[in-house]
């Protein structure tokens, strides 16, 4: 008998006939929203027959066509070949940089018209809700790498405005490694896995990266950011974003000013510990992606305010740094950040590949009212992004992919090319024409036509770096000085880790030389930890990166007086710390847990917008002291302390003694302690805490503000501790094993 998989195991007659009945009645649901125009959904009862890509209904999707049931497969099997060919081509080249990313849809709303500065319609009309798509990313790793690499994060926003798409393609750090686009391929080659053995993945701790930086002193400011806790965000939702370059605004009177873009997260800017990041990379490499997805699914929509620093054109040369130099920031103390609108991410993509993978950002996607500056890094970017899409998305029609289509109509004479979607029906594909009465025609500025800012340029053609770009250290120093003590320690540890992985000692030494120029103590501490003497004089960071034939003196970095000693905005210490919204709290529970203790804390946390997960010795249900059966969310095998913001041990002597017999529960709390997280319990739990590193705090210090350990079950205190994010001062004890 021939065994037919079509009928087995999926389809019995009932299932099949129900589906067929539905297929008759319900057409596939198509959403009316722009980027879903081509979407097809076979869930939710919109049953459809399986077809080939030509629309032919398929009768058997389980067996290829063969010459006899035990015979060879026939070339004739066009269904097998179509399916296999499509599968064989399912991967496209990943992004050269920023390959690993996660995206979401949302809206942008303006608070007040900015018509004084810019004529951009979406920055003038406070009634408009501009749709956006945002993609967050790491830079160095491949598409499948961990979210928790120590790395810069991309923060790219596509605004679908009424005047065309505007892309603000920024990062979570306000400066960049290099000053000129011509160095970008070198920088990226240096940070990517080394070419001979393709290691390490998604990590900058290797020789080629530090070799490059140590020869490129202009990287020092960005290196400080990249080694700081900013490179280890708690969540995409808790990151700042920056446009990095100086851009221009143009108003309707054609007046121009300079502008720097910022994104300020309403939940504050928060980071995690390096040891924690490394652990998460194993326990849940999708940690940031999952966090974003789950927050949006739960209706906890991430929000950022758009911030602007406006610099009058007359002030172009007012500062000791050059506004065109992307390795410099403008301290917020000098020019405050004006918060002008809010972006809310409120919808997850329907399909990762179609949207998040195929979205194509480009700093050159611009609208009237916004223009470029002559920042040589930005100028180079204006070439690179379209070019990269040609190979990544396969041809010049990538703007027709639903996620990339503008909301405003597209009319031009570009035709044909790979995968052209639009069917242009007119005879004319040239301009000027008379057959179509000149249409499509040029738009005057008053009609919304884009006119580049008429900047006067009278110059000699040179391959040179402006001397105004030569100060490589003063802002690196300002950054280090602005960090809190724990943040400074994390920087020292990060340099020690990264340089400690560098094999060539002369590269370590050269980096130490550069660090002496930033901060003597920093350099001494890193040198000490590496077991190296501090170089007496730094190796001169010459010639590399400035000009080929200028004489040596000209090419040495110059020293300028820092614009400011310290800038509070550069530290995360003073960030938002008054909310536990969306924070994840692990409750360690076992049979016999006290109902009242569990419910009281759980409800208080939920009321304040946190989430609570019950973790126990095994999965399934536990029985509370009051005899109630409650289902737990995870066990010590499936869950880990590093995935939570805080841990609570509800009362109940029986539950607590059961937990004390399980080494993993002790480990769970030890890790939370080591990573400086809030830990809470009631009177019964003190015995448990005495088995853990928490005892270091000392019973007398528990419940004291600043210790982060609450032992009286006081919900307000515990919530205050979680909102404080971390108790980094615990790291000073240095008794906690790594
Ligand atoms: Fe990019 N960058 N970049 N970059 N960049 C790309 O474009 C490039 C730079 C940034 O989620 C690529 O579509 C050059 C600075 C983000 O899809 C590529 C230079 C900043 C993303 C490219 C820079 C960025 C990219 C790779 C130096 C912060 C991800 C794939 C001149 C302001 C966008 C792609 C997404 C992606 C080129 C420097 C941000 C190769 C040549 C500075 C957030 O075109």
Pick the residue whose CA is nearest to atom 31 on ligand 1. Answer: 181
**pLDDT tens track for 330-340:** 999 999 999 99
**pLDDT tens track for 516-540:** 999 999 999 999 999 999 987 665 5
| DSSP of 670-732 | HHHHHTT-EEEE-GGGHHHHTTSGGGGG-GGGTTSTTT-EE-S--HHHHHHHHHT---GGGGG
Other Cβ atoms within 10 Å of 640 Cβ, number: 21
Residue 23 is predicted with a pLDDT of 41
**pLDDT tens track for 34-45:** 554 577 777 766
State in Å: Cα 184 to ligand 1 middle.
10
Q: Is the CB of 137 under 6 A from ligand 1?
A: yes
Q: Is the CB of 319 under 6 A from ligand 1?
A: no
701 band by pLDDT with thresholds 50, 70 and 90: confident
State in Å: Cα 181 to ligand 1 middle.
11
The residue among 663 and 563 whose pLDDT is bigger is 663
Q: At what angle do helices 474-482 and 505-518 cross, to 10 degrees?
A: 80
Q: Provide the CA 83 distance to its chain's centre, in angstroms.
A: 35
For the whole model, what pTM was predicted? 0.93
Q: Is the CB of 171 under 6 A from ligand 1?
A: yes
Mutate to test the pocket of ligand 1, among 385, 387, 398 (most ligand atoms within 8 A of CB): 385
Q: Is the CB of 379 under 6 A from ligand 1?
A: no
Residue 539 is predicted with a pLDDT of 53
Per-residue 3-state assignment (H helix, E strand, C coil) for 22-79: HHHHCCCCCCCCHHHCCCCCCCCCCCCCCECCCCCECCCCCCCCECCCCCCECCCCHH
2 band by pLDDT with thresholds 50, 70 and 90: very low
Which H helix or E strand runs over 129? Answer: strand 129-138
Assess contact for 390 and 22: CB atoms under 8 A.
no
The residue among 33 and 484 whose pLDDT is bigger is 484
Q: Is the CB of 404 under 6 A from ligand 1?
A: no
Q: Region 301-310: what's the mean pLDDT?
A: 98
Mutate to test the pocket of ligand 1, among 361, 386, 390, 393 (most ligand atoms within 8 A of CB): 361
**pLDDT tens track for 402-449:** 999 999 999 999 999 999 999 999 999 999 999 999 999 999 999 999
Pick the residue whose CA is nearest to atom 6 on ligand 1. Answer: 97
- Strand, helix or coil at 114? coil
Partners of 256 in beta bridges: 250
Query: For residue 103, which atom of ligand 1 is closest to its CA?
Result: 11
Mutate to test the pocket of ligand 1, among 141, 328, 384, 390 (most ligand atoms within 8 A of CB): 384
Q: Which domains does the chain have, with CATH numbers?
A: 66-404 (2.40.180.10), 471-570 (1.20.1370.20), 584-732 (3.40.50.880)
Compute φ and ψ for 570, nearest 5 degrees. Answer: -85, -15
404 token code pair: 């990339």
State in Å: Cα 97 to ligand 1 middle.
7
Residue 7: pLDDT over 80: no
State in Å: Cα 388 to ligand 1 middle.
10
8 band by pLDDT with thresholds 50, 70 and 90: very low
Catalytic center residues: 98, 171
Q: Is the CB of 169 under 6 A from ligand 1?
A: yes
Query: For residue 388, which atom of ligand 1 is closest to its CA?
Result: 44
Residue 548 is predicted with a pLDDT of 47
**pLDDT tens track for 588-635:** 999 999 999 999 999 999 999 999 999 999 999 999 999 999 999 999
Assess contact for 229 and 570: CB atoms under 8 A.
no
Q: Look over the chain and give the mean of its residue pLDDT values, rounded to a whole number.
A: 92
Residue 735 is predicted with a pLDDT of 60
Residue 584 is predicted with a pLDDT of 98
State in Å: Cα 516 to ligand 1 middle.
31
> Is the preceding peptide bond at 731 cis, omega within 30 degrees of 0?
no
Other Cβ atoms within 10 Å of 506 Cβ, number: 11
Per-residue 3-state assignment (H helix, E strand, C coil) for 501-564: CCCCHHHHHHHHHHHHHHCHHHHHHHHHHHCCCCCCCCCCCCCCCCCCCCCHHHHCCCCCCCCC
Residue 237: pLDDT over 70: yes
State in Å: Cα 95 to ligand 1 middle.
9
525 token code pair: 């501490």
Residue 28: pLDDT over 70: no
> Is the preceding peptide bond at 58 cis, omega within 30 degrees of 0?
no
State in Å: Cα 390 to ligand 1 middle.
15
Residue 502: pLDDT over 60: yes
Pick the residue whose CA is nearest to atom 18 on ligand 1. Answer: 385
């Amino acid at each position: 008998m021939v065994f037919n998989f079509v009928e087995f195991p999926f389809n019995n007659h009932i299932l099949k006939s129900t589906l067929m009945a539905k297929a008759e009645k319900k057409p596939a649901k198509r959403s009316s929203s722009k980027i879903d125009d081509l979407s097809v959904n076979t869930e939710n009862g919109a049953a459809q027959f399986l077809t080939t890509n030509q629309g032919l209904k398929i009768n058997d999707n389980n067996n290829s066509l063969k010459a006899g049931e035990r015979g060879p497969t026939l070339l004739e099997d066009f269904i097998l070949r179509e399916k296999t060919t499509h599968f064989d081509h399912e991967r496209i080249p990943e992004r050269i940089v920023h390959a690993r990313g996660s995206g979401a849809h949302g809206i942008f709303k303006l608070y007040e018209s900015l018509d004084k500065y810019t004529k951009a319609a979406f920055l003038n009309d406070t009634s408009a809700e501009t749709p956006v798509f945002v993609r967050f990313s790491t830079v160095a790793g491949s598409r499948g790498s961990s979210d928790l690499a120590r790395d810069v994060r991309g923060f790219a926003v596509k605004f679908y405005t009424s005047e065309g798409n505007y892309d603000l393609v920024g990062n979570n750090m306000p400066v960049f490694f290099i000053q000129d686009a011509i160095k970008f391929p070198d920088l990226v080659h240096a940070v990517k896995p080394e070419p001979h053995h393709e290691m390490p993945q998604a990590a900058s701790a290797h020789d080629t990266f530090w070799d490059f930086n140590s020869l490129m002193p202009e990287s020092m400011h960005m290196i400080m950011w990249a080694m700081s806790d900013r490179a280890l965000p708690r969540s995409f939702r808790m990151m700042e974003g920056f446009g990095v370059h100086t851009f221009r605004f143009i108003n309707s009177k054609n007046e121009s000013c300079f502008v720097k873009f910022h994104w300020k997260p309403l939940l504050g800017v928060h980071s995690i510990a390096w040891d924690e990041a490394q652990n998460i990379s194993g326990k849940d490499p999708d940690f940031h992606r999952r966090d974003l997805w789950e927050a949006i699914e739960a209706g906890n929509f991430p929000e950022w305010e758009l911030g602007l620093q406006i610099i009058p054109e007359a002030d172009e040369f007012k500062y000791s740094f050059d506004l065109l130099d992307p390795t410099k920031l403008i301290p917020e103390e000098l020019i405050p950040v004006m918060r002008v609108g809010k972006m809310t991410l409120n919808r997850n993509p329907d399909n990762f590949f179609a949207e998040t993978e195929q979205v194509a950002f480009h700093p050159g996607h611009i609208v009237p009212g916004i223009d470029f500056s002559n920042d040589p890094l930005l100028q180079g970017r204006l070439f690179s992004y379209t070019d990269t899409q040609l190979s990544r998305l396969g041809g010049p029609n990538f703007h027709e992919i639903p996620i990339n289509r503008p909301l405003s109509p597209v009319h031009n004479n570009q035709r044909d090319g790979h995968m052209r979607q639009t069917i242009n029906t007119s005879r004319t594909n040239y301009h000027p024409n008379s057959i179509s009465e000149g249409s499509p025609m040029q738009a005057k500025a008053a009609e919304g036509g884009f006119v580049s800012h008429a900047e006067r340029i009278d110059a000699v053609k040179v391959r040179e770096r402006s001397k105004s770009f030569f100060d490589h250290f003063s802002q690196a120093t300002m950054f280090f000085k602005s960090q809190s003590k724990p943040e400074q320690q994390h920087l020292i540890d990060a340099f020690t880790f990264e340089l400690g992985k560098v094999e060539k000692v002369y590269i370590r030494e050269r980096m130490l030389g550069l660090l002496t120029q930033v901060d003597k103590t920093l350099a001494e501490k890193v040198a000490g930890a590496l077991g190296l003497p501090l170089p007496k004089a730094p190796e001169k960071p010459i010639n590399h990166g400035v000009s080929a034939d200028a004489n040596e003196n000209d090419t040495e970095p110059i020293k300028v007086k820092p614009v400011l000693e310290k800038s509070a905005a550069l530290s995360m210490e003073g960030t938002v710390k008054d909310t536990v919204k969306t924070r994840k709290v692990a409750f360690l529970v076992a049979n016999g847990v006290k109902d009242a203790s569990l419910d009281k804390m759980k409800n208080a946390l939920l009321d304040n917008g946190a989430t609570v997960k019950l973790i126990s010795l095994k999965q399934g249900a536990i029985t509370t002291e009051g005899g109630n059966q409650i289902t737990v969310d995870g066990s010590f095998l499936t869950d880990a302390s590093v995935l939570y913001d805080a841990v609570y041990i509800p009362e109940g002597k029986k539950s607590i003694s059961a937990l004390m017999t399980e080494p993993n529960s002790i480990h769970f709390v030890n890790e939370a302690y080591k990573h400086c997280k809030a830990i809470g319990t009631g009177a019964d739990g003190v015995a448990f805490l005495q088995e853990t590193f928490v005892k270091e705090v000392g019973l007398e210090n528990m419940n004291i503000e600043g210790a982060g350990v609450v032992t009286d079950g006081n919900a307000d205190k515990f919530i205050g501790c979680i909102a404080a994010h971390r108790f980094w001062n615990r790291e000073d004890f240095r008794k906690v094993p790594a």
